[in-house]
Structure 1
């Protein structure tokens, strides 16, 4: 891509759109933060998520995202599954906390590389929200720029995604000492569980409108 291409409106729009998703607190970002907090191979986890993001964006620009626009029923089903997944993730997180008493503390162990990468693969490829953002929305928005600049929109989005994946992992690592006591991780899980359930409710409300 030439220097002029890097400054094109398509690249800039893709980058800005990607930046807007950095602070969305979903299962994927939470997995990145936890990997950093527990020192569970954060770089490998971030790289796994980023490579998956490249694959999903490529699929979206390749036409899958546009296909969903012509099949609103399929799009609605995907959003409903997404809401269900978020609600399940939130309930599972809160249930894990409720199984421990107020005086009992659960020690967070560092996961093996295989377990850490597996967790990221699950919250990426089995999370409809990621498909909705990285494939459907990128595919639809890039389509408005025409075939010649679709790749530029995707490149801009992926540049912002790199900041998201590696930035959240590094943030987790930098905060790991502040969260040394397991009770703080327990409180973070409580916040995460509530946020995930609220996100599911908001998405479900949008489907019903």
Structure 2
């Protein structure tokens, strides 16, 4: 089966399958959605970056990244440090007696929120593997005339997902009026980020084949 509709749906389905895994970026968007803090700019940032990376991959930049393993190692080291720090902060926040009240009293500025979003996005090598390499390879397999529709479908899935977790998080807000729920979330965020940091360090330490 080929054609414009199939190209769009192929991009949408593959992007949705890759993006729905629990990761640091998704957890950060969820947390900001629960706090109703800069949700629109964060969703727009995440969706736009995904769209640009997917388009770049389909255009052929994925082949360049695949041939530059040292760049991947540097990204992994930077990402491990970034995720490790944020994981530690989340666990410290969960353990602090007054963490919930302080979090409600003072939030992130828009600049700091977007800077954190950029860190979770660009310092994660898996972002490039998913959007640039995997999506790029799949998109390149489409006929040249259909590639823009593949990219449009993939970008649509990304925007839809981030909007769903960013704005849909408010449905869970009654649950998170309880301090214990915030602590559970912070523990989940902290452990997930530390695990991701450890996996990135392990990938750097693993000898190249």
Shift of 1:163: 1.8
1:145 aligns with 2:142: yes
Shift of 1:126: 3.8
1:27/1:89 contact within 8 Å kept: no
CA RMSD of aligned residues (A): 2.8
In 2, distance between residues paired with 1:113 and 1:141? Answer: 35
TM-score normalised to structure 1 length: 0.78
1:67 aligns with 2:64: yes
Over 3 Å counting, the alpha-carbon distance change for 1:95 and 1:165 in structure 2 is same
Shift of 1:135: 2.5
* Structure 2 equivalent of residue 5 of structure 1: 4
Q: What per-residue deviation string (whole Å, max 9, x for no partner) do you get for residues 65-118 of structure 1?
A: 1212233444455445444543343233224434x2xx4443223444444334
Shift of 1:55: 2.2
Which one of 44, 47, 53 corresponds to residue 44 of structure 2?
Answer: 47
In 1, distance between residues paired with 2:192 and 2:122? Answer: 21
Q: Which runs of 5+ in 2 are unaligned?
A: none
Over 3 Å counting, the alpha-carbon distance change for 1:204 and 1:126 in structure 2 is closer
Shift of 1:30: 1.3
* Structure 2 equivalent of residue 198 of structure 1: 195
Shift of 1:168: 0.5
In 2, distance between residues paired with 1:201 and 1:85? Answer: 12
Choose between structure 1 and 2: higher helix proportion. Answer: 2
Q: Which SS does the other structure have where 2:37 is aligned?
A: coil
Q: What per-residue deviation string (whole Å, max 9, x for no partner) do you get for residues 106-162 of structure 1?
A: 322344444433432332234433333222332233233354443333222112112
In 2, distance between residues paired with 1:80 and 1:151? Answer: 33
Q: How many residues align?
A: 202
Shift of 1:191: 0.8
TM-score normalised to structure 2 length: 0.78
1:178 aligns with 2:172: no
Over 3 Å counting, the alpha-carbon distance change for 1:204 and 1:117 in structure 2 is closer
